[in-house]
Structure 1
């Protein structure tokens, strides 16, 4: 039996959707992932902002497993880059055999190395890139299946 995990770069997904004029309905998105990929676990990596506790509770009620990174203030913005956490969790799950295959949701080239590692170990089904125009060549050149969300946002998002 296939056990599929999905690892989501939350910041990349959120920003890409917003730049394309969409606000993700996370409940619908989780349903779409369930229906399309039958994932066992869906991990969402996001920066921890204490004022957003209710939103985090909502995400958990939708079926996401949240992995947080403490945010730091940089000027007027909060930054919570979760790249290392996503890579570490994915590799840890690979070695503990928590999945037979996985997918990453990101277009960030910083994840090219983990995509290559997973491909070399026959452990990745593909990548879901939030924006075709901003998907890094460091992911595109891995010769794996990439699904672009540009034409799919209408299934699980609202226009803003």
Structure 2
């Protein structure tokens, strides 16, 4: 009998979106959620995301696809760009879940070197399953700690949104 794992994914939504967009394609989030469950036995996928009211339809579709959204209040930088820095929230949630023994293995989804300390911590505790990098330019800070990394570009054929579809709330 196959053992069911209780793995959690911790996703930096802005990094995921920017990384995939930079590669020139759109991610089908519903397919991505199924892929996480089937490939890595992800029982819960936390998506850390800035809260922008005009994207309510997007948030609804992400929840319907099976993501647990963790919202961060947004601010604007000096040039009017929306910022919803979720890094600290993602790190804290992951570490709390580890100490509360909520998951068997963690999957980090980001290419941001700010998560290198978290990745090292999870590796030392033997609970890091893999780092999934949305960008082919994954930070050297993550690459140098000798952890398993999967580049999402290698899964493009499976995870790309078809030309007929369009992500809700996105133009």
TM-score by shorter chain over 0.5: yes
Rounded Cα–Cα distance in structure 1 between residues aligned with 2:162 and 2:50: 24
Query: What's the CA shift string for 1:96-123, capped at 9, x where partnerless?
Result: 0000111100110000000000111111
Q: How does 1:28-107 map to 2 (within 5 A)?
A: 28-74=31-77, 75-107=79-111
Of 106, 113, 124, 1:109 maps to: 113
Structure 1 runs not aligned, ≥5 long: none
Structure 2 runs not aligned, ≥5 long: 164-171
Q: What secondary structure, in the 3-state scheme, does the structure 1 residue paired with 2:161 have?
A: strand
Of 3, 21, 24, 1:21 maps to: 24
Query: What's the CA shift string for 1:106-145, capped at 9, x where partnerless?
Result: 110000000000111111111011122x101111111111
8 A contact 2:9–2:109 mirrored in 1:
yes
Q: What secondary structure, in the 3-state scheme, does the structure 2 residue paired with 1:152 have?
A: helix
The equivalent of 2:127 in structure 1 is 123
The equivalent of 2:166 in structure 1 is none
Aligned length: 159
Rounded Cα–Cα distance in structure 2 between residues aligned with 1:106 and 1:140: 12
8 A contact 1:6–1:102 mirrored in 2:
yes
Rounded Cα–Cα distance in structure 2 between residues aligned with 1:116 and 1:76: 34
Higher strand share: 1
8 A contact 1:9–1:44 mirrored in 2:
yes
Alpha-carbon offset, residue 159 of structure 1: 7.1
